[in-house]
Amino acid sequence: MSDHEYIPKSKFGKWFNDRLPLLTLANHLTDYPTPKNLNYWWTFGGILTFCLITQIVTGLVLAMHYIAHADMAFDSVEHIMRDVNYGWLIRYIHANGASMFFLAVYIHIFRSLFYGSYKAPREIIWIIGIIIYLLMMAAAFLGYVLPWGQMSFWGATVITNLFSAIPLVGEGIVTWLWGGYSVDNPTLTRFFTLHYLIPFLILGLVVLHIWALHVPGNNNPVGIDIKKPSKDTVPFHPYIVIKDGFALLMFMIVFAFFVFYTPNILGHADNYIEANPLVTPAHIVPEWYLLPFYAILRSVPDKLLGVVAMLSAILILAALPWLDTSKIRSAVFRPLYRQFYWILVADVLILGYVGAMPAEGLYLLIARVATAYYFLHFLIILPILGFREKTMPLPLSITEPVLGGSQNLALVKDRKKFEN
């Protein structure tokens, strides 16, 4: 928070602000000191906000025309595509928007992993982020069920059946989730309700996410603490606003290309076949953004353990601030971590790839190795690396570039002495 008290100029402004300090908030958001060396990987926070709002606005319009009933859902989607004015545009933005949202969130998460943004004092930001990510996956899954196509129906069947792996109460939970003895109309109506609810939960958490961010301020590519405000920072407006805006426009070009020219490429053809409980599709696959976790699920032969592995793969991220024992944030100064980081990126991409393939033969073997490595990275490599790795000297500030070599190392040592 900025240290000086904001006093509105106008009399009315002062009167209002004394009662509800909205102007102080606006002033804080405008002046918010931001590290000036943020690169384009930092623009995805703004892009994600745009994605969330786009999904809520288009979703609102879709909900006006959609009918959550097992006999009418598929027809109502076709009605949107054909007869609602620009219904095709709104639906394609919403459907591709989900993919764009995940694309952006994955970049956002991996940026955080690279620059150590999850480390002290930003653990709460990170954990809220993980909860948002979990809710996003829930919202995406629920939304995919709503068109009531074959993949909707069978995806819902497969995912809800995962709960049956829970000992003793599993079957009961599944029946409770379905609202019956199979995925049917009661399932669809509750999925629709929850799909409508979750984005607003996410919105609330996003406010907390940003609030928590504004307490310590942004991390930065160098990963060192900086004095705020100082010559290392710029005010959020106009510097970061225009830069985020530029990046957002680039992102929107990609988005528009999907919406207007390949609107169905990220979906599955089977979802244009109306749900039929009597016909199972040849391959049941989730949307691309859930594939790595699907691969982890299938790589474990036991159903319960598979579910546990899949959930742990996500929840392990919440423990990351404590699993990573290194005090250095940015991978720029961690030569070994940098290598492991890229191996992890490749590992997750491989998991995503084998998740789309049938779970047999070579694919299954690759999935198992990649799953094992995923957990190895977080549970073994990261904790040990923090103690063993010889990191490079940190610069004293952003404006002071690393001069390299011994002189700078001495500076860092001096600083440590000074701090002690």
Partner 1 sequence: MKNFFKIFSFLVLLFGFSTNLNCAEKVEYLKTDWSFKGLFGKFDRGALQRGYQVYTEVCASCHSMKYLSYRNLAEKGGPEFSVAQAKAIASSFEVSDGPNDDGEMFTRPGKLSDKFVMPYDNVKAAQAANGGAYPPDMSVLVKARGGGVDYIYSLLQGYEEPPAGVTLDDGVYYNKYMYGNKIKMPNQLSDGLVEYADGTEASVEQMSKDVTTFLMWSAEPHLESRHRMGFKAIVYLIILTILVYFSMKRIWSRIETKI
Compare residues 168 and 253 and give the one whose CB is closer to partner 1: 253
Q: For the chain, first and last CA: distance in Å?
A: 26
Distance CA 359, CA 364 (A): 5
Determine if 358 is a binding residue for partner 1 (CB under 8 A).
Answer: no
Burial class of residue 222 (count of CB atoms within 10 Å of its CB; 0-12, 13-18, 19+) = buried
Compare residues 95 and 212 and give the one whose CB is closer to partner 1: 95
Determine if 310 is a binding residue for partner 1 (CB under 8 A).
Answer: no
- Residue count of the chain: 420
Distance CA 154, CA 231 (A): 56
- Pick the piece of the chain touching partner 1 (CB under 8 A) from 119-127, 176-184, 251-259, 290-298: 251-259
Distance CA 318, CA 312 (A): 10
Cis check: omega of the bond before 292, within 30 degrees of 0: no
Q: What tokens appear for 110 in the block? A: 């991996």
Given 12, 181, 261, 387, the residue binding partner 1 (CB under 8 A): 261
Alpha helices in 3-122 (DSSP H): 11-19, 22-31, 44-65, 73-82, 87-115
Determine if 184 is a binding residue for partner 1 (CB under 8 A).
Answer: no
Determine if 272 is a binding residue for partner 1 (CB under 8 A).
Answer: yes
**Residues 275-294 contacting partner 1, CB under 8 A:** 282
Determine if 257 is a binding residue for partner 1 (CB under 8 A).
Answer: yes
* SS3 assignment, position 106: helix
Instruction: Mention every residue, 6+ apart, whose C-beta is less than 8 A from residue 258.
Output: 96, 99, 100, 265, 266
Site string for partner 1, 98-137 (x = CB under 8 A): ----------------------------------------
- DSSP line for 312-352: HHHHGGGGHHHH---S---GGG-HHHHHHHHHHHHHHHHHH
CA angle 201, 319, 300 (to 5 degrees): 90
Compare residues 121 and 277 and give the one whose CB is closer to partner 1: 277
Determine if 396 is a binding residue for partner 1 (CB under 8 A).
Answer: no
* # of chain residues touching partner 1 (CB under 8 A): 40
Distance CA 244, CA 239 (A): 9
Determine if 361 is a binding residue for partner 1 (CB under 8 A).
Answer: no
Determine if 376 is a binding residue for partner 1 (CB under 8 A).
Answer: no
Distance CA 324, CA 93 (A): 38
Compare residues 179 and 263 and give the one whose CB is closer to partner 1: 263
Determine if 245 is a binding residue for partner 1 (CB under 8 A).
Answer: yes
Of the candidates 139, 119, 113, the residue with the CA atom closest to the CA atom of residue 198: 139
Q: CB 183 → partner 1: shortest distance, Å?
A: 20
Please identify which residue in the block is written with the tokens 């002046």.
Answer: 31
Compare residues 75 and 414 and give the one whose CB is closer to partner 1: 75
Given 54, 57, 67, 88, the residue binding partner 1 (CB under 8 A): 88
Compare residues 92 and 163 and give the one whose CB is closer to partner 1: 92
Determine if 181 is a binding residue for partner 1 (CB under 8 A).
Answer: no
Determine if 353 is a binding residue for partner 1 (CB under 8 A).
Answer: yes
Distance CA 62, CA 80 (A): 8
DSSP state, 164? G
Given 6, 106, 239, 373, the residue binding partner 1 (CB under 8 A): 239
**Residues 58-87 contacting partner 1, CB under 8 A:** 75, 78, 81-82
Compare residues 82 and 417 and give the one whose CB is closer to partner 1: 82
Given 7, 53, 269, 384, the residue binding partner 1 (CB under 8 A): 269
Determine if 1 is a binding residue for partner 1 (CB under 8 A).
Answer: no
**112, 125 in Cβ contact below 8 A?**
no
Given 227, 246, 384, 404, the residue binding partner 1 (CB under 8 A): 246
Given 1, 242, 365, 410, the residue binding partner 1 (CB under 8 A): 242
CA angle 358, 364, 370 (to 5 degrees): 120
**Interacting residue ranges for partner 1, rule: CB under 8 A:** 36-37, 75, 78, 81-82, 88-89, 92, 234, 238-239, 242-243, 245-246, 249-250, 252-253, 256-257, 259-261, 263-264, 269-270, 272-273, 282, 338, 342, 345-346, 349-350, 353, 357
